[in-house]
Amino acid sequence: MPTRSEIVDRIQSVGLVAIIRADSSSGLIETCRALRDGGVTVAEITMTTPGALEGIEAATREFGDDCLIGVGSVLNARMATDAINAGARFVVAPTFKQEVVDAAHAADKPVLAGALTPTEILTAFEAGSDLVKVFPANHFGPRYFKDVLAPMPHLKLTPTGGVSLETIPDWFAAGAVCLGVGSALVKKDMIAAQDWAGLTALAQRFVDRVAEARG
């Protein structure tokens, strides 16, 4: 079982966290497999997905360490604990709550807490958030990361919102340590059509783009 620090290293090394916010639990395993086969080996299943806990449990059992499965849209400690007990390897939240950080760290799991303003970001980081999820990042863009990191270069930021194949280089150039990617990668129409080969090919394009952006 990887440690908290090893999971953080893995997330940063891959550079992408696929955000699976599905309308049903159908196809979750196939979605994770398609992403993994394309090289995206870190994915979060959001708690807004019907049957999220069962999906996390099944995916973790299916893929083990080949694909790190986390949980997203976590709002409180109970959600975090339930998801970790189901097998989630990391916890992602849209906001910062100390109880979520504490619950995850008690189980030796990392947290990507959500924040937006410089004060919120610093507060989350100093309170133990392993990476800070800047959300919704699409309203401010990569330049916002540059501005925030100028006086606080020690922060580890990851954007959610506004990440696409076209914007990947800009986010890394602005200082992001990894990227959260939702609908630009995990396309609901592909899942509905069971176009797993298409999803794998798209995942590979994202992986290649990250490699290019990182030089």
Residues acting as catalytic residues: 44, 133
Q: Tokens for 17?
A: 């966290």
Integer angstrom CA distances of residue 37 from 13, 109, 135, 207: 17, 25, 28, 11
Give 167's DSSP letter: T
* Antiparallel, parallel or unpaired: β 42-46 and 179-181: unpaired
3-state helix, strand, coil in the chain (%, to 5): 50, 15, 35
Which phi and psi angles does 197 have, rounded to 5°? Answer: -65, -40
